[in-house]
Copies of this chain bind each other. A is one copy, B any other.
Amino acid sequence: CTKPSVGSQQRRRMVVVKAETINPEIRKTEEKVVDSVVVTELSKNITPYCRCWRSGTFPLCDGSHMKHNKATGDNVGPLLLKKQ
């Protein structure tokens, strides 16, 4: 087969921007990190769950989102599970 002609058009430069992972470290051997909470088993009135992927107690939030937000200008925070 022959290459398609580009005629008088300039070839386009390809710029590939590689998007970034948001989870640098947690359970990287798992294909997808999914966690389950049986809500009837929650013991505290409010339990914060991590959405920043920086918690030392993942899937729970340990406040590490604050350091991440300060370092990057981001605005992420936890999901709060409330019994009432």
Q: Which single residue of chain B is at the shortest CB-CB distance from A66?
A: B32
Mask of A30-48 contacts with B, CB within 8 angstroms, 1/0: 1111111111101000000
- Going nearest first, the 7 A-B pairs with the smallest beta carbon separation are A39-B39, A21-B74, A22-B22, A34-B77, A32-B77, A36-B80, A51-B51
Protomer copies: 2
Q: How far is the CA of A83 from the CA of B28 in the complex (A)?
A: 28
Contact B79 A22 (CB under 8 A): no
Contact B82 A35 (CB under 8 A): no
Q: How far is the CA of A48 from the CA of B18 in the complex (A)?
A: 27
Contact flag A21-B51 (CB < 8 Å), given A34-B80, A80-B37: no
Contact B35 A75 (CB under 8 A): no
B-chain residues with CB within 8 Å of residue A82 when the two chains form the complex: 36-39
Contact A65 B20 (CB under 8 A): no
